[in-house]
Amino acid sequence: MFSFNGPTVTEIAPDVYRIGVYAPASELQFNFFLVRDDQPLLFTTGFRATFPVLREAVARVIDPSRIRWVGFSHFESDECGALNLWLEAAPHAEPVCSFVGAAVNVNDFASRPPKAMADGEVLATGRYRFRFCSTAQIPHGWDAGLLFEETQKTLLCSDLFHQTGDVEPLTESGLSDRVRAALSRMQGGPLANYIPYNARTEVILERLAALKPKTLAIMHGSSFTGDGERALRDLAVVMRETLGIGPQSESKNNR
C-alpha cells in the first residue's frame, strides 16, 4: 500500500470539513469530507489503509460513532474501500449511493444495506439537505452520482476538478489551469482516459452548473470557493479539449 502524509483537517464551508492525506509517490492528494449535522455525513470513505488516520481525524470534529450516513460517488477503493470499517465504527451508519451502485455492487459488498438514491432525491440530515444528482459515467462508472448540499450550495464533486500536487486546502482561483495540466499529463501516461468523454458529458456538467454551487468539495486537489457555475462551465471546456475525441487524442490514446 502507498505511504501518505497527513491528515490535515480544514473547515472549507460552515460544518464542512475537508480531511486530506497526500501520497508523495503519486503526487496526489486524497480528500474526504465530513459534514457536521444532527445526522453527520461522511462523503467518501478512503482506503482500508487510510481508515485509522481518517477515523482519528474525524474524532477531532465529532465522535466517529455518531456518523449516520456514509456516501460516495462510485465504486472504487478511494471512494468506498473502507465502507465496512466505517459501518463497524458507527453502528447507526448507513451507506448512501446511487440506485445503480446499490443494485450492482453495494447490496452485496456492504455489511449493511445502502440507501439507494434516485436522481433528484433529497437526504435531510438536520440543518442540511443533500440532493442526489445521478451522473452516470461522470466522473466515471455506470453507478456515478454526486451530492449537492442545497442550503450552503456545496457540491461534493468526487473526481471532478482533479489536480495533482500537495496543494492548499481551499482556493479561489487558478482551478481550470491546474485541472487542464493534470488531465493533459494523465492523457500521456498509463492512466489515460480517466474520465470518459461522451455525448452526455457537457449535458451533465451544465446541469451541475445550473445548481450554482458556491463551494466545490474536490477529492484530488484544492477545494474551491467562488463562482462554481463558471468553474463547471470552464471544466466542460477543459474536458472537451483534453479528453474529447479529436485527431490528437485519437492518435495519442489508441496507439
**Site residues, Fe ion (CB under 5 A):** 76, 78, 159, 219
Nearest residue to 123 (alpha-carbon basis) of 149, 84, 100? 149
Alpha-carbon distance 231 to 175, whole Å?
A: 8
Task: State in angstroms the smallest separation of the CB of 150 from Fe ion.
Answer: 24
Going by C-alpha positions, the residue among 193, 192, 162, 165 that lies closest to residue 179 is 162
- 103-131 burial: b if 16+ Cβ within 10 Å, else e: ebbbeeebeeebbbbeeeeebebeebbbb
Compute the least distance from the CB of residue 242 to Fe ion, in Å.
Answer: 17
Toward Fe ion, which CB reaches closer, 68 or 75? 75
First to last CA, the chain: 30
Identity of the residue numbered 189 = G
Rank residues 32 and 68 by Cβ distance to Fe ion and give the closer one: 32
Residue (149 or 159) nearer to Fe ion, CB: 159
- CB-CB neighbours of 171 under 10 Å: 18
Closest contact distance (angstroms) between CB of 23 and Fe ion is 12
Residue 73 Cβ, how far from Fe ion at the closest point, in Å?
7
Output 68 or 101, the one with its CB closest to Fe ion: 101
Tell me whether residue 53 is exposed, middle or buried, using C-beta atoms within 10 angstroms of its C-beta: 0 to 12, 13 to 18, 19 or more.
middle
User: Please, which residue, 15 or 159, has the CB nearer to Fe ion?
Assistant: 159
- Shortest separation between residue 159's beta carbon and Fe ion, angstroms: 4
How wide is the angle at C-alpha 111 spanned by C-alphas 107 and 66, nearest 5°? 115
State the nearest-atom distance from the C-beta of 162 to Fe ion, in Å. 8
Question: Do 231 and 40 contact (CB within 8 A), yes or no?
Answer: no
Q: Between 148 and 161, name the residue whose CB sits nearer to Fe ion.
A: 161
